Amino acid sequence: MSKDTLPGLTLCNNAMLRRAARKLGQFYDDVMAPSGLKATQQGLLYQIHIGDEPAMGAIAASLIMDLSALGHTLKPLIRDGYVETFADPDDRRIKRVRLTPQGLVKLDEAMKLWHIAQQRFEDVAGNDKAERLRAALDEIAALDFDLPPATP
């Protein structure tokens, strides 16, 4: 525990995870700043790109966020001309997203910065620790917390 950590934080998994996520998020945002994107926006552009015009529901499920939060995150990317939404040709109730040509250029710019951030993180934390962290976080994201509440 660092000298700046309040003792009560170390007892709570959620508090420590959020603390680390804010620290890492700030670091990635700082490195991504020259692109004009936040790290979350870069990640979303990347997911859309590799998803081959994914449905919004599929993106939201993959990122473990609700559709309204996804829509909120997409708004500035749509406004800036990086992303467009369209109705699925086979089922018009499904909304899909894709990068525009301008979005592909922005993603390329952002990915160069992301690689710098990723390498810096791995240089500081160590490649093995970074790999173990990603694996542990993926396992946590897959856990089912819909269990009956514990009785005191």
pLDDT at 36: 97
Residue range 3-20: average pLDDT? 80
Between CA 106 and CA 83 the distance in angstroms is 10
At a CB cut-off of 8 Å and minimum separation 6, what does 17 contact? none
Least confident range of 7-11, 43-47, 58-62, 76-80 = 7-11
Q: Please say whether the structural domain 14-139 has been given the CATH code 3.40.920.10.
A: no
pLDDT at 140: 92
What is the residue whose two structure tokens read 């009785």?
Answer: 151
Task: Encode burial over 48-64: b for 16+ CB neighbours within 10 A, e otherwise.
Answer: bbebeebebeebbeebe
Structural domain boundaries of the chain?
14-139
